[in-house]
Structure 1
Amino acid sequence: MRHLLNTLFVFTEDSYLALEAENVVVLNGDRELGRFPLLTLENILSFSYRGASPALMGACAQRNVALCFFSPQGRFLARVCGQTRGNVLLRKEQYRRSDSPEQSCLIARNMIAGKLSNSRWVLERATRDHPLQVDVSKLKRASGLLLNAARAAASCEDLGVLRGLEGEAATRYFDVLDQLILQNKADFSFQGRSRRPPLDPVNALLSYGYTLLAHDCAAALEAVGLDPYVGFLHRDRPGRTSLALDLMEELRAIFVDRLAITLINVRTIQAKHFQTKENGAVWLTEDGRKAFTSAWQNKKRETLVHPYLNEKVPWGLIPYIQALLLVRFLRGDLDAYPPFLWK
């Protein structure tokens, strides 16, 4: 079984990453801010505008350490990719299925059914854990709609219809997500999903978390030999990791949404962790990003029993395991792609 290694997050905006004697060195001018052995890392996420040395980028590509660059506000910029891994026949099979709307739908519908089922259980868990603090009947109605949509998605044979089911169900889910926010309601009111840019603190948290999740999914797909840029539900678009966006669908609610809401409810994330720009965009501050990513890393170390493998694994390995299951389906070892189903 693959082991979960460390992720290095670099938040200092004017820092520069270099390689020295198999160590990642974080520099601020002539001052060394930190030194980390490369062999202990599987991801490096830099939120600095100064970048990294070619030597470090080459070493990361050679050792399969995912190196990703973001703006200081958390907007994705680029990933460093090394030599293509995996069997060429596997990727050709991926491309063939992606070119077929019918074959693409057979995979995408299980991912969306998993997403809607997991979203439903996020709501159900709230009615169980906080029956006196939430509108149980409202959440139950939304849960019923998500259940029906998940069943319809599981048998859908058209990508257009599938996208319609997912979009309508996502709207119903986000319509009641505010019910799950139990603290700091004056600062954290959620009235609906907004992105590019996020227009309130909750959306800023969700967007940042989705960005981290997309990176983890892209790195997992690269690790198992798949092309993260060629998806089944999300179609080809230059520069977009479409398959990573497909893979993360079933994990959005149970990983990012629950973590964001928990951090609000326990007051780890507060109003001081956000800044509003002139155009109305709301972004996490550096301290806010540090608080979220610290909780993100702790969450990835927590273990659970994988519902398909029936083995205890860290949360951080779920994208990698799901990528492996997708490979097994593409190779013909499984009759269908088994989505990750949480309760």
Structure 2
Amino acid sequence: MRKLRNTLYITKELCYLFRDGTNVVIKEDNKELGRFPIHVLEDIVCFNYNGASPSLIRLCNENQVGISFVSPQGNFQGRFIGKTNGNVLLRRQQYRIADEEDKSLEYAKLMILAKTSNYRKILKRIITDHSNKIDKVKVIKSIDNLEEDIDLIKKSASLDSLRGMEGDSARTYFSCFNDLILQQREEFIFKGRSKRPPLDNVNAMLSFGYTILTNEIQSALETVGLDSYVGFFHTDRPGRASLALDLIEELRGYLVDRFVLRLINNNIINHKMFEYKENDTVLMNEGGREVFLKNWQLRKQEKIKHPFLEENMEIGLLPYVQSQLLARTIRGDLKKYPPFLM
């Protein structure tokens, strides 16, 4: 099993990254804040304005370490991938599948089925663990609706109909999301999913987490030789990592949603870690991002038993393992792609 390496997050907005030998060095106002050997890193994610030196980018290229640039507000700006292990035969097969709707639909169905199934399991768990603290009737109704959605997704005959069903199941799930917040309810009220921009503390955390996870999935896809920009469910669009957006569907509930709820319900994060703009946009501030990312790294080190491989592994390896399983299916080593099911 592949080893989990570190992701270096640069959260201070005025930092600059440069190379010293085989080390990544972080400076702010000519003061060194830290240095890390390149061989311990998997990825670098920069939330800073000043960027990185060309020499450091070359070092990352030589060691297959990706660099992603995200605005301090959490908006993805771009990614340097460098050398990849792209296999031309694997990618050609990926492109053939993407060009045929029937074949794309087979993969997309499995990913959306897993997403909806995981949503359902999250709601069922809250009934098991905290039925006395929630609107049980409302949550049970949503679980029933998700079960109906699962049956409809299995029967979907086109990508357009599948996209409609995916949207319906997401709305059903998020209609109950406020019931999953058990602590700090006044500060973390969730009235519905708002993306661009996020309009409350919960949405700010969800959007930030989805950005981080999408970046990790994109890195994993490139590592196993797939083209992260050519997807099966999400349509092609310049600059959009469609396959990464496909793969996040089955992982977002387990990796991001439950993590956000843990931070809120365990009082790890609070309302002072957000900033509120005049246009009603809500963003995590520097302190909030640091708390989020510190706990995200700890979460990635926790162990689970993979439901398909039946091997113990760190949670942080899930994007890589699912990317690898996807590549094996596209190559023909597996008959059907096994999405991640909680």
- Note the aligned Cα RMSD (angstroms): 0.9
Distance 1:153 1:58 in 2: 45
Displacement after TM superposition at 1:83 (Å): 2.5
Specify the code of the residue in structure 1 equivalent to 2:5. L
Question: C-alpha distance in 2, partners of 1:38/1:284?
Answer: 29
CA distance in structure 2 between the partners assigned to 1:205 and 1:87 by the alignment: 36
1:122-155: CA deviation from partner (whole Å, max 9, x where unpaired): 1011111111111222111111111221232234
Shift of the alpha carbon at 1:45? 0.8
C-alpha contact 1:120 1:146 (8 A) present in aligned 2? yes
| Distance (Å, rounded) in 1 between the aligned partners of 2:324 and 2:154 | 21
User: What are structure 1's unaligned runs of at least 5 residues?
Assistant: none
3-state SS in 2 of match to 1:97: helix
Alignment partner, residue 274 of structure 1: 274
Over the matched positions of the two proteins, sequence identity in percent amounts to 48
Aligned residues: 342
Within 5 Å, which residues of 2 pair with 1:228-307? Answer: 228-307=228-307
Tell me the SS of whatever aligns to 2:175: helix
| Superposition pairs of residues 64-143 of structure 1, within 5 angstroms | 64-143=64-143
Q: Is the CA contact 1:109–1:155 (under 8 Å) kept in the aligned structure 2?
A: no
TM-score (norm 2): 0.98
2:157, 2:97 → 1: CA distance? 14
- How far apart are the structure 2 equivalents of 1:56 and 1:149? 48
Distance 2:188 2:43 in 1: 31
Partner AA of 2:33 in structure 1 = L
The separation in 2 between residues aligned to 1:157 and 1:306, in whole angstroms, is 30
In 2: Cα distance, 1:108 partner to 1:63 partner: 33
AA aligned to 1:327 is: A
Which range moves more in the overlay, 148-157 or 120-129?
A: 148-157
Contact 1:113–1:151 (8 Å) recurs in 2: no
Q: Deviations over 1:2-52 (max 9, x none)?
A: 100111111111110001110000011321111111110101111100000
Aligned residue number for residue 218 of structure 1: 218
Q: Which residue of 1 aligns with 2:178?
A: 178
Deviation at 1:269, TM superposition (A): 1.0
CA distance in 2, matches of 1:157, 1:52: 47
| SS of equivalent residue, structure 1 residue 132 | helix
Q: CA deviation at 1:58?
A: 1.6
State the AA in 1 paired with 2:124.
Answer: E
> What is the distance in 2 between the residues matched to 1:76 and 1:61?
20
Q: Name the structure 1 match of 2:206.
A: 206
Q: 2:210 corresponds to which letter in structure 1?
A: Y
Structure 1 residue 254 displacement after superposition:
1.1
Kindly state the Cα deviation for residue 312 of structure 1 after the two structures are TM-superposed: 0.6
Q: Within 2, Cα distance between the matches of 1:155 and 1:251?
A: 22
Residue 244 of structure 1 and its aligned partner are, at CA, apart by 0.3
Bigger mean CA deviation after superposition, 77-86 or 161-170: 77-86
Q: Residue type matched to 1:53 in 2?
A: S
The amino acid of 1:311's aligned partner reads: E
TM-score (norm 1): 0.98
Q: Which residue of 2 aligns with 1:194?
A: 194
Aligned match of 1:318: 318
1:336 aligned partner = 336
Q: Supply the distance in 2 between the matched residues of 1:206 and 1:121 (Cα, whole angstroms).
A: 19
Offset from partner CA, 1:83-104 (integer Å, 9 cap, x none): 3423101001111111111111
Residue equivalent to 2:58: 58
Tell me the CA shift for residue 333 of structure 1. 1.3
